[in-house]
Amino acid sequence: MKWATRAGIHIDRAVCALLIRRDIDVDAEFVVLRGLSMTGDDAQRLAIKQPMFNGLYEYYHRLNLIGREPA
């Protein structure tokens, strides 16, 4: 399976790749995506990503409150 990462290796991304290869997918192949990190500043990226993060937070918050998948 292919796994995506951003350009520029930092310790957190290096360790994530190591853990993925060790614990999840021994045949993991990593590809570098340059796209969003090259197109704007942090405020622009946050404006694009924030709705997705809010939705994921709300889903898991409701899951924990009711103890089953929300409808």
Q: What is the reported pLDDT for 27?
A: 92
Q: What is the pTM of this model?
A: 0.44
**What is the DSSP code (8-state) at residue 40?**
S
Which run of H or E residues covers position 29?
A: strand 29-33
Q: What is the reported pLDDT for 36?
A: 53
Residue-wise pLDDT tens for the chain (71 aa)? 888 777 777 788 788 888 888 998 999 888 877 665 566 677 877 787 888 888 888 988 898 888 887 77
